[in-house]
């Protein structure tokens, strides 16, 4: 044997290889099987291998000792570089590249996948992905691949036609030791598939031997095959099981000396790769510009409008062509239909496509949509911006954990020089498969109604109606129309659900109420409908939405309750009053709500002279009607007040006739309020004030007598009694702003009048019964007297 | 926390059944099957009223000494049945309703998937995860 002089690099390399082959751990002899496998991996013709073994003396020895092994390796390098095999060439050839070995399948699987850097995952992935492998045509897929980060250790598989689909196909070539390998020793099984895929992809790549070696950021522009090959040559390496121990350093010098193109690039890419790999697992899911462009083109074939949707059926047809099992396509759909609307936007479509490609290449589908595929994340292409996507995504909080941050990773801009070639592949969706499958005809009744819309009914919550009613009427009177409709509503702020939309719906509700004012309170429910429908559209998969909607549909205030107790009794009088004074803004207001007027005068007495006018009328109505119904039971404690009221009533009667004396009336009213006694005195004494008041009692009495002859004379006192009851209203301090007290007082008064009127009613009913009986008896008598005529 | 959750199609065959104590699965299948009668009865009880007026949540279908069965029907006559342990007294009606609501929501998502043919058994992972979240934690 010739002595073999090896460079340091070679020395290391060979020793590692020897260790690799030294399965028996003899440290002296490499097992034949391993060695032969290795030699076979060198991809040299078998006769060359035989020659080599013979030359190195192994055949002579029968085994591979270290020296033989080294010699053999050197000879392999010689053979691979195309030089004739000769013993003397061992030492004569300078700058011999290291022998390349394509790791065989078995060896590959023996390798720990941890050795594979994440980067390779990304690499192959990204390389692979754009290849929606013509759905099954792996071969072409190749090229770009990959290699991503300079791991051109694409050792072509002996079986170059391995289909891509199978995830368990022969493992890819062994990547040689990178620094990264060490770091990612804990890669785990997850990386296996991508590596496998990479391998499959790489095989054709090797055949093609074209395309750039993509390196991290550094894009290697189209490279001619030779340099690429060279890079392979240099980087190729067997993958020793203990590659983690293999010092990566020895490779870098090799690289450096081999490919000038790669040197700098390789280092940078190595760094790049490390950075990227450290970013995490999701990088493989990143969509490159080119891929995205392709997806966009595909999207356009289905839906020309980039901002539009692809309906589910069309998408189903499209993706069925990929020949993935329906279950997987279903899962992909679940992942990518972000807003669960049964249609795909551009972003969703790209994500779905990406997942399909990944699956086709053997990558297992994730359980959750990867960050980089989420629709509202990065969109490298501005053209693919889908504005309506954002609001949907923004609203749907719960179902998918959306990470708003864009991937910090630098986008791997990979250009695929073999784009044209790839494109051809991309278009080769097998059409025939879909033809046999007809679109699923959904049962018309299967589409479930949106449960939220079915459940949601705006539930109006009754607030204390009368009080609110009074308040609102009062406020309206005082001209604060813009506040009152909202005040009762604001009093009960609806519980806001987590959906922000509800807040806007509330605002909408407010707007509606504002605009309409109280007069349209009846239409509140109708206003609710658009609001609830708007909100229900935001069915953001939140189960609480129906509840929220229920609450959000803020109960409108109940429609204005006509004050029934007074309407009947006062309608006639009110009409008379109105007829007498058709002018006046307050009157018009009063006219607008005749039935509601009666109670109003009571509280509005505190608000001002204007209201005082109305109140006078109201009071007049009260006084005029109540006397009619005053029962003959003067057992009211408030009788004394009635008298005072009667006194004040009189001015109101005058007021009807003298509209110009408004302030005068207000005067008497005020005085009435201040001092009931004065009123009474005025009524009786007929003083200056009383002069105004005195006549009124008379008309009151006159009215009484004229209207009801059956009534006793006691009625006038009763009327006075009731009038005084009503007169207690003015006794309330008229401090403006004490609406609440006024309301309470008015409530009290109303209650009192209610009781009074109820008694009146019962007594009148009794009288009516009596009269009817009399009538019946009279008729009977008449009948008895009549028979003579009949006969 | 349910012991068994089932989704029955309009034609009364199961689209999805899952129970937690796997060994008693057959018993739960039988229970769900018998509860369908009660569901039908409750549906037909509405009579002249339109389906929309009928509430989707049917409430307690029938109790046994071991467990209680609750029902829920969608407008397309797909029934959801939840079986809960009787000993679990802390479950209130509102919770059952919310469980049904979640089921209905995720069922709707499954339906929206164009790759799902109505009438197929439900194999969606998302649906499975929602159901698992509602089931009693496996002892």
pLDDT tens figures, A16-38 = 887 877 766 666 666 667 777 77
For the stretch B81-130, pLDDT in tens is 998 887 766 678 888 898 899 999 999 988 888 888 888 888 888 889 88
Quickly state the pLDDT bin for B18 (edges 50, 70, 90).
confident
Question: Do A303 and A318 contact (CB within 8 A), yes or no?
Answer: no
What are the CB-based long-range contacts (under 8 Å, 24+) for A56-64?
Answer: A56/A1, A57/A1, A63/A29, A63/A30, A63/A32, A64/A21, A64/A29, A64/A30, A64/A31, A64/A32, A64/A35
Q: Which residues of B touch A364 (CB under 8 A)?
A: none
More confident of the two residues A308 and A604? A308
pLDDT of residue A573: 53
Quickly state the pLDDT bin for B29 (edges 50, 70, 90).
confident
Question: Do A250 and A12 contact (CB within 8 A), yes or no?
Answer: yes
Question: Do A277 and A187 contact (CB within 8 A), yes or no?
Answer: no
Name the average pLDDT for chain A.
Answer: 56
pLDDT of residue A337: 82
* pLDDT reading at A761 higher than 90: yes
> Is B114–A449 a contact, with Cβ atoms under 8 angstroms apart?
no
- % of chain A residues with pLDDT over 90: 5
pLDDT of residue A350: 87
Please name the helix (run of DSSP H) or strand (run of DSSP E) that holds residue B5, with its range, or none. Answer: strand B2-8
CA pair distance A633, A640, nearest whole angstrom: 14
Q: Does residue B88 lie within any of the structural domains?
A: yes
Binding-face residues of A in 259-318 toward B, CB within 8 A: 312-313, 315-316
Q: Which of A330, A341, A543 sits opposite B98 (nearest CB)?
A: A543
Q: Please name which of A637, A664, A634, A632 lies closest in space to residue A648, comparing C-alpha atoms.
A: A664
Q: Please name which of A159, A485, A221, A437 lies closest in space to residue A325, comparing C-alpha atoms.
A: A437
Binding-face residues of A in 401-430 toward B, CB within 8 A: none
pLDDT of residue A456: 60
State the CATH number of the domain containing residue B112: 3.30.450.70
Most confident of A301-310, A765-774, B67-76: A765-774
**Least confidently predicted of A237-241, A709-713, A715-719:** A237-241
Q: Does residue B115 lie within any of the structural domains?
A: yes
Q: Which residues of B touch A319 (CB under 8 A)?
A: 115
Please name the helix (run of DSSP H) or strand (run of DSSP E) that holds residue A64, with its range, or none. Answer: strand A64-65
Mutate to test the interface with B, among A368, A437, A451 (most CBs of B within 10 A): A451
* pLDDT reading at A58 higher than 90: no
pLDDT of residue A747: 94
Question: Do A154 and A100 contact (CB within 8 A), yes or no?
Answer: no
Please name the helix (run of DSSP H) or strand (run of DSSP E) that holds residue A30, with its range, or none. Answer: strand A29-30
Q: Which of A440, A448, A451 sits opposite B117 (nearest CB)?
A: A440
> Is A442–B118 a contact, with Cβ atoms under 8 angstroms apart?
yes
First-to-final CA distance of chain A = 165
Please name the helix (run of DSSP H) or strand (run of DSSP E) that holds residue A755, with its range, or none. Answer: helix A739-785
CA pair distance A283, A378, nearest whole angstrom: 13
Using CA coordinates, name the residue in chain A closest to B97. Answer: A543
pLDDT of residue A308: 82
Q: Does residue B37 lie within any of the structural domains?
A: yes
For the stretch A79-132, pLDDT in tens is 777 777 666 666 665 566 677 676 544 444 444 433 434 434 443 444 444 444
More confident of the two residues A417 and B125? B125
Q: Residues with Cβ < 8 Å from A769, sequence gap 6 or more?
A: none
**Least confidently predicted of A46-60, A349-363, A739-753, B82-96:** A46-60
pLDDT of residue A335: 85
Q: Does residue B52 lie within any of the structural domains?
A: yes
Mutate to test the interface with A, among B95, B99, B105, B115 (most CBs of A within 10 A): B115
Pairing verdict, β A343-344 and A310-311: antiparallel
Question: Do B80 and B35 contact (CB within 8 A), yes or no?
Answer: no
Conformational region of residue A208, where left means phi above 0, alpha means psi within -120 to 50, and beta covers everything else: alpha
A377 phi/psi in degrees, rounded to 5: -85, -165
Most confident of A257-271, A542-556, A622-636, B34-48: B34-48
- The pTM (predicted TM-score) of the whole model is 0.34
Q: Which of A327, A442, A448 sits opposite B75 (nearest CB)?
A: A448
pLDDT of residue A695: 46
Q: Which of B10, B102, B124 sits opposite A330 (nearest CB)?
A: B124
Most confident of A210-224, A514-528, A641-655: A641-655
Most confident of A71-85, A344-358, A373-387: A344-358
Q: Does residue B139 lie within any of the structural domains?
A: no
For B91, the 3-state DSSP assignment is coil
* pLDDT reading at A77 higher than 50: yes
For the stretch A321-333, pLDDT in tens is 888 888 888 888 8
Mutate to test the interface with B, among A323, A336, A340 (most CBs of B within 10 A): A340
Question: Do A722 and A639 contact (CB within 8 A), yes or no?
Answer: no
CA pair distance A104, A171, nearest whole angstrom: 9
Question: What is the count of structural domains for chain B?
Answer: 1
ipTM of the complex: 0.84
pLDDT of residue A462: 63
Q: Does residue B85 lie within any of the structural domains?
A: yes
Quickly state the pLDDT bin for A361 (edges 50, 70, 90).
confident
Cα angle value A724/A727/A732 (rounded, 5°): 135
pLDDT of residue A520: 42
* pLDDT reading at A686 higher than 50: no
Place of tokens 């980039």: A306
* pLDDT reading at A762 higher than 70: yes
Q: Does residue B53 lie within any of the structural domains?
A: yes
Q: Does residue B119 lie within any of the structural domains?
A: yes
More confident of the two residues A115 and A365? A365
Quickly state the pLDDT bin for A136 (edges 50, 70, 90).
very low
CA pair distance B11, B14, nearest whole angstrom: 9
Using CA coordinates, name the residue in chain B closest to A545. Answer: B101
For the stretch A371-381, pLDDT in tens is 777 766 444 44
User: What are the distances in angstroms from CA A576 to CA A94, A211, A654, A704, B40?
Assistant: 127, 101, 14, 16, 64
Domain that holds residue B9: 2-134
Cβ density class A493-517: b for 16+ within 10 Å, e for less: ebeebebebbeebbebbeebbeebe
> How would you write A430-496 as a 3-class SS string?
CCHHHHHCCCCCCCCCCCCCCHHHHHCCCCCCCCCHHHHHHHHHHHHHHCCCCCCCHHHHHHCCCCC
């Amino acid at each position: 044997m010739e002595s073999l002089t090896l460079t340091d690099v070679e020395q290391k390399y060979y020793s590692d290889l020897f260790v690799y082959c030294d399965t028996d751990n003899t440290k002296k002899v490499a097992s034949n099987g391993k060695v032969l496998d290795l030699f076979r991996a060198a991809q040299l013709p078998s006769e060359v291998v035989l020659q080599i073994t013979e030359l190195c003396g192994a055949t002579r020895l029968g085994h591979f000792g270290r020296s033989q092994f080294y010699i053999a390796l050197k000879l392999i390098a010689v053979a691979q570089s195309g030089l004739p095999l000769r013993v003397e060439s061992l030492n004569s050839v300078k700058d011999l590249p290291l022998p390349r070995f394509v790791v065989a399948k078995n060896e590959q699987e023996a390798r720990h996948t941890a050795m594979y850097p994440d980067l390779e995952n990304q690499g192959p992935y990204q390389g692979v992905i754009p290849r929606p492998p013509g759905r099954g045509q792996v071969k072409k897929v190749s090229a770009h691949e990959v290699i991503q980060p300079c791991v051109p250790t694409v050792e072509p598989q002996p079986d170059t036609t391995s289909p891509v689909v199978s995830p368990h196909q022969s493992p890819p070539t062994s990547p040689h030791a990178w620094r990264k390998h060490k770091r990612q020793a804990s890669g785990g099984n997850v990386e296996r598939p991508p590596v496998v895929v990479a391998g499959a992809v790489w095989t054709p790549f090797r055949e093609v031997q074209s395309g750039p070696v993509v390196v991290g950021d550094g894009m290697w522009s189209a490279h001619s095959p030779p340099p690429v090959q060279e890079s392979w040559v240099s980087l190729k390496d067997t993958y020793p099981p203990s590659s983690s121990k293999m010092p990566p350093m020895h490779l870098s010098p090799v690289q450096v000396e081999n490919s000038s193109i790669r040197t700098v690039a390789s280092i940078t890419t190595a760094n790049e790769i490390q950075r990227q790999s450290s970013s995490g697992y999701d990088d493989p899911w990143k969509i490159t510009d080119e891929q995205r462009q392709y997806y966009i083109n595909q999207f356009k074939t289905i839906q020309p409008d980039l901002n539009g949707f692809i309906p589910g059926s069309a998408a189903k047809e499209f993706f069925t062509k990929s020949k993935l099992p329906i279950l997987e396509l279903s899962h992909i759909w679940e992942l990518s239909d972000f807003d669960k609307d049964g249609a795909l936007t551009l972003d969703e479509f790209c994500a779905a496509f990406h997942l399909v490609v990944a699956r086709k290449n053997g990558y297992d589908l994730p359980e959750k949509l990867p960050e980089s595929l989420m629709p509202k994340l990065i969109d490298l292409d501005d053209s693919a911006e889908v504005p309506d996507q954002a609001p949907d995504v923004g609203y749907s909080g719960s179902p998918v954990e959306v990470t708003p941050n864009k991937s910090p990773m630098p986008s791997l801009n990979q250009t695929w020089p073999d784009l044209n070639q790839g494109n051809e592949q991309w278009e080769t969706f097998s059409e025939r498969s879909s033809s046999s499958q007809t679109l699923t005809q959904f049962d018309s009744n299967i589409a479930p109604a949106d449960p939220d819309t079915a459940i949601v009914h705006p539930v109006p919550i009754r607030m204390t109606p009368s009080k609110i009613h009074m308040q609102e009427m009062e406020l309206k009177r005082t001209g604060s129309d813009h506040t009152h409709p909202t005040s009762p509503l604001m009093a009960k702020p609806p519980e806001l659900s987590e959906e922000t939309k509800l807040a806007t719906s509330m605002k909408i509700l407010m707007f509606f109420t504002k605009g309409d004012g109280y007069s349209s309170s009846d239409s509140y429910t109708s206003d609710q409908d658009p609001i609830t429908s708007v909100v229900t559209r935001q069915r953001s998969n939140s189960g609480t939405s129906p509840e929220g909607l229920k609450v959000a549909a803020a109960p409108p205030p109940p429609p204005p309750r006509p004050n029934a107790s007074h309407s009947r009794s006062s309608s006639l009088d009110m009409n008379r009053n109105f007829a007498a004074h058709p002018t006046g803004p307050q009157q018009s207001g009063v006219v607008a709500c005749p039935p509601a007027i009666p109670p109003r005068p009571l509280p509005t007495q505190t608000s001002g002279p204007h209201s005082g006018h109305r109140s006078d009328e109201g009071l007049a109505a009260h006084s005029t009607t109540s006397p009619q119904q005053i029962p003959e039971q003067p057992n009211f404690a408030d009788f004394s007040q009635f008298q005072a009221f009667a006194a004040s009533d009189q001015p109101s009667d005058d007021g009807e006739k003298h509209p110009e004396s408004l302030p005068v009336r207000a005067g008497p009213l005020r005085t009435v309020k201040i001092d009931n006694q004065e009123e009474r005195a005025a009524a009786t004494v007929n003083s200056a004030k009383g002069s105004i008041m005195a006549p009124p009692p008379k008309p009151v009495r006159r009215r009484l007598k004229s209207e009801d002859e059956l009534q006793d004379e006691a009625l006038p006192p009763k009327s006075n009694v009731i009038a005084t009851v009503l007169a207690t209203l003015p006794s309330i301090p008229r401090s403006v702003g004490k609406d609440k007290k006024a309301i309470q007082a008015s409530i009290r008064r109303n209650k009192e009048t209610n009781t009074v009127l109820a008694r009146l009613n019962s007594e009148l009913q009794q009288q009516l019964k009596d009269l009817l009986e009399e009538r019946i008896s009279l008729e009977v008598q008449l009948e008895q007297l009549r028979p003579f005529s009949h006969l | 926390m349910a012991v068994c959750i089932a989704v029955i199609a309009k034609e009364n065959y199961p689209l999805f059944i899952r129970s937690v104590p796997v060994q008693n699965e057959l018993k739960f299948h039988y229970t769900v099957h018998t509860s369908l009668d009660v569901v039908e009865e409750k549906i037909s009880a509405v009579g002249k009223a339109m389906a929309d007026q009928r509430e989707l949540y049917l409430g307690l279908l029938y109790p046994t000494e071991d467990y209680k069965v609750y029902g829920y029907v969608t407008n397309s006559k797909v029934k959801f049945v939840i079986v809960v342990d009787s000993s679990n007294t802390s479950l209130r009606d509102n919770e059952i309703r919310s469980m049904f609501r979640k089921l209905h929501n995720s069922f709707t998502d499954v339906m929206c998937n164009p790759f799902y043919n109505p009438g197929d058994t439900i194999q969606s992972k998302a649906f499975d995860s929602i159901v698992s979240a509602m089931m009693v934690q496996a002892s």
